[in-house]
Amino acid sequence: MTPTTRSAPSLAARAASRATNTSERGSGSRNGRRRAVGLTASALAAALALAACGGGGGDGDTGGTGGGGEGGGTVTVWHYFSDDNQVRLMDEFAAKFEGEREGVTVENVYVPYDEMNSKVIAAAGSQTGPDVVVFNGAETATLALAGALAPLDDYWADYEDAGQFPDSVIHQVEDQTYAVQGYVNLLGLWYNAEILAEIGVEPPTTIEELEDAMAAATDAGYSGITLCGLPQGQGEWQAYPWLSAEGFTYDAPDAAALEAGLARVRGWVESGWLSQQAVTWDQTVPFQEFAAGGVAFAENGNWQMGTAESDARFEYGVVPLPLGADGQVYLGGEGQGIGAYSQNPDLAWEYLTATYLDAEGQLLPVEIVGSIPSRSDAAQDEMVTGNELLQPFAETIETYGANYPSPAIPPESVGDVQLTVGQAWSAALGGQQSPADAAQNVVGQLERLGG
Amino acid sequence: MNHAKAGPVTSTVKVLLTFMYGVPILWIVLTSLKSSRDVFSSRTSLLFRPEITAYVDALDGALADALVQSVLIATGTTALVLFIAIPAAYGLARTRGWITTLGLGLLIVLQMMPQTATVIPLFQIFGDWRLLDHTIGVIIADTALLTPFATLLLRPFFRAVPRELEEAGAIDGATILRTFWSVVLPVARNGAFTVGTLVFLLAWGEFLYAVNFFLSPGSYPLSALLAQQVSAFGIDWPGLMALAVLTSIPILLVFTATYRLLRDGLTVGAVK
Amino acid sequence: MTSQLAPTAAQSARAATGGRRRGRGVSQRRVRLLFLAPAALFLLLFSLFPLLQLLRMSVSAVTARTLNAEWLFTGLENFRRSFDGGEGTDALLRTGIFVLVVTTLGMLLGLAAAIALRTRGRWSAALLALMVFVWALPPVVNGSVWKFLLGDRGLFNMIVLELGLRDSPMPFLYSQYWALMSVAFVNSFAVIPFNALVFRAALMNIPPETFEAAALDGVNKWQEVRHVMLPSVRPTTLVLLVLTLVYGFRSFDFIYVMTYGGPGTATNTLPFLGYLQAFARYDFGLGAATSVVTVLGVLILAAVYARSIRREEAES
C-alpha cells in the first residue's frame, strides 16, 4: 500500500488521546484522573461543537469524493448480524447505496460472529476476501495485524466530513487508520420502573444508591441486577465500568483498585442481589431475564431496545451507570473497514460514505436498532435527542465515554488482556478466586503483556 | 433377537434413557412453541399459550435453499466417505505389520486434530485449487474430517467377517476385489449402514467448514441457518428450537429408513 | 488402478493355492494394501497439510501479525510457556477428570443402552430414534437446553427445591467444582447414543445360535452379557473406547456453549484452552502447542490400543 498521508483531524484526535493518556499516567491521584476524564469529555464536546458548525452544509450531498465513479460493480459486505432488525438495517443500507449508484449491487454475506475473524484472516491468507467488513470494532487490531484490512488513511485524508467523527470511533493500529464506526453502542443501567416504584426509590445516581435499591428490591422478593460474568471479552466489557469506578485503568493497572472493583460486585453476589449464575450469562440472557420481570436492574446496552419493547411487560427506563467520578464506559460498536484484497476498494469506500458514514445514513441505525450515531451532526438529530431511552446513553458518552479497547493496551495484546480480565471477573463472581488473588493475578499478567 | 424378554434391569435402563433423552426434546418442543417473553418466565415453564410463529418464520425461501445444500453436502460426503473408508477399513482389517499400525495411529491423530486448526490451511488449499465457494469443496473438507472416524469404526466389522468365507471365494477363483464385493461387503453391511448413517448425520450437522468455505450469500446449509439464531445481539430461543426441530426431521427420516433396512437386512442375511 | 491390478494378483494367488502358501500370503497382502490407496491419497492431499501446519505452528511464534507471513521458529518455547504459568498443567488435570467421566459414563451407559435396546418392540425403536435424534442436534442446541435444565430455575433445581432437599439451588454450572462435572455429564449424554448405536450394530452381528447355545447351558442374564456379548463385541469395544477417549480429549463445543471455561478457568480443558489461545488471544503458536500436547496424550493411549490389537490378532 502507498505510504500514508496523515490527515489533520486524525492527528488532532491522536494528540488528544495521547494527552489523555499521559495525564492519566502522570498523576496517580484521584484529582488528576478526574481531570483526565474531563479532558476526554471536553475533547468529545469539542468534536461535537466543531461538527455543529462545519457539518451544516454537508448534510445534503452524498460523499462522492472517493473518485473512480465508473459504472456498476458489486460490493460484498461481510457482517455477523442475524437479529431481524439488524438484518433489515443491512438491507436498507444496501438499498440506499444501490438507489444512489446505478448499476451497483450490494451483496450482504452473513458470517457467524465466532467465525468472522478466522474467516476474514483465512481469506486474507489466500489473498481474497470481502470488499467491506463489518466487525466488532474492538477486534480491529487483530484483523489489521493479520493484513486483512486495507488502510483507510488516503480516503480519510480526503474525506470532507472526517471532522464529524470523534476520536473514539476511529480505529488506528500502529498509526494507520483501518476502521471507522458508523455508530456507538454502550452500556447503561436499565431499571424496572414498577419495582422501583413499589420499593419507593428513584433511579440511582450513585453506586451507594444502587446498592441500597438492590437491597430493597431483594427484600421485596425481587432480584437486584443482571449482568454478564462470562470469562471472556464480553465479561471484560461489562466489568470495566465497575472496575474503573474504583480507579482501575489500563494505563496504570493498580491491584488495589481492581480488587476493590471485583470485591464490590462479588459482594452483590454474596448479598443475594446478583445471581452467581451470571458467570454463565453472555450479554443476551441477562437482559432476557430482566425483560421477563422480577429483576430491578440490568447492566446492558442500547441495542436491547427492541427486546425491551417486545418482551418487557412493565414500565422501564435507563439511566447512566452510577460510576462516580472515575468511572468509564467503553464506546463499542461495529467497525467498518475495507478488505485488504477488495477488488474495488474505491467502490467499497463509496458504499461506506453513502451508508455508515453518511449523515442521513447514520439515522437508519438509530431508527432501526437504537444505536447512537457517531457523527456529531447526526447525534444532534431530533431522532436522537428526542428519544427518552437514547438520552441517558448519549449522556453516558459525555460523562464516562472511553475508547474501546483502551489505547494503553498494545494492539497484539488486546485479546489477551480482555480474556485475562474477563476470566478474573468470572473467577471472582463465581468464587473460584478471591477478589484479591484475581486482582494480583491480572496485574501480574498485565505487566507481562506490557500493558 | 426375539428371545430377549425385557427384564427389570432392562426396563430400568430404558426408563432412565427415556427420561434422559425425552426431557430435553420435550423442552425443545415446548420452547419452540413459546413466545420469546415466555421462555424466561418461570410461571410459564409448562403452561403458556402455544404459538407457531417460530415455525412460520422459519419456513421461508432460505430454508428450502439451505435444505438443498444440506442434502447435497450430506449425501455427497456420505458417498465419498464410504467409497474411501470401506476399502481402507477392509485393508486395515486384513493386514498386519508396521503399515497397519502406522495407518491406525495416523487415523487416530487425524481424528484428534481440532477442527478449528484445519480451517485456515484448508482455506489455502481450496483457494489454490479454486474450490472455495463450491459445494464440492465443503464435501471434500467434510470427507477429510470424517474419513478417519469412519475407517476406524468400520474396521472391526470387517474383522468380524470369517476368513473362511473369503478363502472359499478365493478357491472358487474369484478375484480379491470380487470376493470383497460379493462376499465380504454383504456380511459387513450392517456396520457399513450404521457408519453410513452416522456419517450422514454428522455431515448434516457440520457447520464450521460450511460457514468458512462458502463465500457468497445463500449457499449456507441448514446447520449455518441454525447458527443465525444465536448472535451477540440476541438469541431467538423459540426460533432456534423451532429450526432445530425442523432441520432434524430429515435426520429422523434417514434414520428410520436405515433402521428398517438394518433390521430387515439382518433377518434376511444373517450370517450362516 | 485397483481393478487393473487385482486380476493379476488374483491369478498369482490362484497359481499359488497349490503349494507356496507363503508367497500367496505376501502377494495377497500387497493387494489388500492397495485397498488403502484411495484413503491414503485423499488424506495425503487434504489432511496432511493441515497436520503439518499445526505441527509447524506449535514450534513457531505465530500471532495475528505473523499468521499470514513468515513464521519464526522458536523450538519448544510455546510448550514451555504453556506449562510455565501452570495454565497448561491445570488444564491437563481437568482434562484427565473430564475424559475419565465422559469415557466411563459414555461406555457403560452406551453398552447398557445397546443391550436394553436390542429387544424388539415399539419402545426400543422409538427410544433409539429419540436418542439418535438428540445426538444429531447441534451442540449449541443440546448445550443450551442443558444450560436451561441445569440453571437455577431449571427442571433439576425445581425438583430439588420442591422436594425440600436443599433451600438454595444447586450450583450445577457456576460452582467451580460442579461445573466440570456438569459439562462432563452433558458430553457423556451426547456420546451415549453414538456408542449405543455402534454397540447395538455389533451385538446384532452375533449369530443367534450363540445365544441359543448359551440358553441351553442355562446361563442367566448377567452371565450372558459377561460371557457371550462382551467377548463378541470386544473389537468394537476397543475402537469405541478409542473414539470416546478422542471425543473426550477434543470436546470443546459444550464447554463453549455452557460455561465458556468458567467460572473463571474452572472448566478450561486442554481443547478449550487451545481454542482460547488461538482464537481469543490470537496466539496461534501457543494454541497449536496445546493441541499437540493433547494429540500426544491420545497417542500414548493409542499405543495401548495398538498393543491390544496386536494381542487380539495374535489370538485370532
Instruction: With H, G, I as helix, E, B as strand and everything else as coil, classify residue C35.
Output: coil
- Tell me if B63 is assigned to some domain: yes
Per-residue pLDDT at B271 = 38
Q: Which chains touch B (3 or more CB pairs under 8 A)?
A: A, C
Q: What single letter denotes the amino acid at residue B261?
A: L
Please tell me the distance in Å from B135's CA to the nearest CA on chain C: 16
Contact A122 B231 (CB under 8 A): no
With a pLDDT cut of 70, the percent of chain B lying above it is 92
Question: CATH number, domain at B88?
Answer: 1.10.3720.10
User: Chain C within 8 Å of A428 (Cβ-Cβ)?
Assistant: yes
Cell numbers for C87: 495454565
A20 reaches C (C-beta below 8 A): no
> Which residues in B have their CB inside 8 Å of a CB on A?
36-37, 39-41, 116, 119-120, 123-124, 126-128, 132, 208, 211-212, 215-217, 220, 224, 227-237
Contacts of B235 in chain A (CB under 8 A): 284-285, 288
Q: Which residue has the higher pLDDT, B175 or A182?
A: A182
Contact status, residue A359 vs residue A370, Cβ threshold 8 Å: no
Between these two residues, A451 and A172, which has the higher pLDDT value? A172
- For range A416-444, the mean pLDDT: 96
Length of chain A: 451
Q: Which of A263-267, A355-359, B43-47, B62-66 has the lowest mean pLDDT?
A: B43-47
Asked if C201 lies within 8 A of B24 by C-beta distance, the reply is no
For chain B, how many structural domains are there in total? 1
Instruction: Report phi then psi at A107, rounded to 5.
Output: -110, 110
Quote the cell numbers at residue A105. Answer: 449491487
Tell me whether C200 touches chain A (CB under 8 Å).
Answer: no
Nearest to B13 among C42, C113, C205 (CB): C113
Joined grid coordinates for residue A93 = 443500507
Q: How many CB contacts within 8 angstroms connect chain A with chain B? A: 99
Name the residue type at position C243.
L
- Residue C257 near residue C146, CB atoms below 8 Å: no
A260: pLDDT strictly greater than 90: yes
Q: Which is it for the CA torsion C154, C159, C161, C165, positive or negative?
A: negative
Q: pTM of this prediction?
A: 0.87
Mutation for testing the B interface, residue in A79, A90, A110, A186 having most B CBs under 10 Å? A110
**Average pLDDT for A271-288:** 94
Question: A415, C280: Cβ pair inside 8 Å?
Answer: yes
**Domain span including residue B80:** 51-271
- Identify which of B127, B220, B224 has the shortest CB distance to residue A128: B127
3-state SS assignment for residue A354: helix
Nearest CA in chain B to A314: B37
Contacts with B37 from chain A: Cβ below 8 Å: 291-292, 310-313
pLDDT in tens, chain C (316 residues): 333 333 333 344 444 444 344 445 556 777 777 899 999 999 999 999 999 999 999 999 999 888 888 899 999 999 998 888 788 899 999 999 999 999 999 999 999 999 998 877 889 889 998 998 899 888 889 999 999 999 988 888 988 898 888 888 999 999 999 999 999 999 999 999 999 988 988 888 788 888 888 888 888 888 888 888 998 888 889 889 989 999 999 888 899 999 999 899 999 999 999 999 998 999 999 999 999 998 888 888 777 766 776 776 666 5
ipTM score above 0.85? yes
Do B220 and B130 contact (CB within 8 A), yes or no?
A: no
Q: Which of residues 2-41 of C touch A (CB under 8 A)?
A: none
With respect to residue B191, please indicate whether it lies within any of the assigned structural domains.
yes
Question: Which chain B residue lies closest to C214 (C-alpha atoms)?
Answer: B3
Looking at beta carbons, which residues of chain B come within 8 Å of A285?
235
Least CB–CB distance from A427: residue in C63, C69, C263: C263
Grid cell digits, residue B129: 485449487
- Interface contact B205, partner C, CB < 8 A: yes
Classify residue B26 as left (phi > 0), alpha (psi -120 to 50) or beta. Answer: alpha
Please state the domain extents for chain C. 85-315
Neighbouring-strand partners of residue C229: none
Helix, strand, coil percentages, rounded to 5, for chain B: 75, 0, 20
* Contact in structure between A280 and C173 (CB atoms under 8 Å): yes
C148 interfacial to chain A (CB closer than 8 Å): no
Taking the C-alpha atoms of residue C157 and residue A188, their distance in angstroms, rounded to an integer, is 32
Q: What is the pLDDT of residues B69-122, one digit of tens each?
A: 999 999 999 999 999 999 999 999 888 788 888 888 899 899 988 888 899 899
Q: Of the ranges A301-305, B39-43, C170-174, which one carries the lowest mean pLDDT score?
A: B39-43
Residue A15: is its pLDDT beyond 50? no
Cα–Cα distance for residue pair A318/A304, rounded to 1 Å: 11
Q: What is the mean pLDDT of residues A356-384?
A: 93
What SS3 state is found at A79?
A: strand
Residue B39: inside a domain:
no
In a domain, B101, yes or no: yes
What residue of B is the nearest CA neighbor of C147? B24
Work out the minimum CA distance from C11 to partner chain B, whole angstroms. 8
Instruction: Indicate yes or no: CB of A110 within 8 angstroms of CB of B217.
Output: yes
Q: How far apart are the first and last CA of chain C?
A: 31
Is B150 domain-assigned?
yes
Going from the C-alpha of A90 to that of each of A23, A109, A220, A433, the distances in angstroms are: 40, 10, 44, 43
pLDDT of residue A107: 95
Cell numbers at B104, concatenated: 491406525
Question: Is residue B32 one of the residues assigned to a domain?
Answer: no
Numbers of helices and strands, H then E, in chain C: 18, 2
Task: Report the C-alpha gap between A372 and A284 in whole angstroms.
Answer: 19
Q: Which residue has the higher pLDDT, A233 or A40?
A: A233
Torsion sign over Cα C203, C205, C207, C210? negative
Q: Which residue of C has its CA nearest to A272?
A: C168
pLDDT score recorded for residue C235? 83
Average pLDDT of chain B to the nearest whole number: 85
Strand partners, A331: A403
In this predicted model, what pLDDT tens digit does every residue of A199-253 receive, in sequence order?
999 999 999 999 999 999 999 999 999 999 999 999 999 999 999 999 999 999 9
Q: Which residue of B has its CA nearest to C240?
A: B153
Residues 41-100 (B) with a CB less than 8 A from some CB of C = 42, 45, 83-85, 87-88, 90-92, 94-97, 99
A448, closest residue in chain C (CA to CA)? C85
Neighbours of chain A (3+ CB pairs under 8 A): B, C
Q: Mean pLDDT, to the nearest integer, of A119-132?
A: 93
As a whole number, the mean pLDDT across chain A is: 85
What's residue C6's pLDDT?
Answer: 37
Q: What's at C208, amino acid-wise?
A: P
CA distance B123 to chain A (A): 6
Residue B228 lies in a domain: yes
Q: Are C133 and B271 an interchain contact pair (Cβ–Cβ within 8 Å)? A: no
Residue whose C-alpha cell is 471472556: A232
State residue C314's pLDDT score: 66
User: Fold for domain C85-315?
Assistant: MetI-like fold (1.10.3720)
Residue B269's pLDDT band, with cuts at 50, 70 and 90, is very low
Are A142 and C64 within 8 A, CB to CB?
Answer: yes
Interatomic CA distance for residues A447 and A439, integer angstroms: 12
Three-state SS at A70: coil
Q: Which of C34, C50, C117 sits opposite B122 (nearest CB)?
A: C50
Distance CA C71, CA C93 (A): 31
**C124/B contact by beta carbon, under 8 A:** yes
Which range is least confidently modeled, A21-35, A347-361, C248-262?
A21-35
How many residue pairs from chains B and C have C-beta atoms closer than 8 A?
295
| pLDDT band for position A59 (cuts 50, 70, 90) | very low
Residue in chain B nearest C220 by alpha carbon = B7
Taking alpha carbons only, the member of A33, A11, A401 closest to residue A184 is A401
In B, which residues are within 8 Å of C124 by CB distance? 14
Least confident stretch, A424-438, B223-237, C299-313: C299-313
Q: A20 or B149: which carries more pLDDT confidence? A: B149
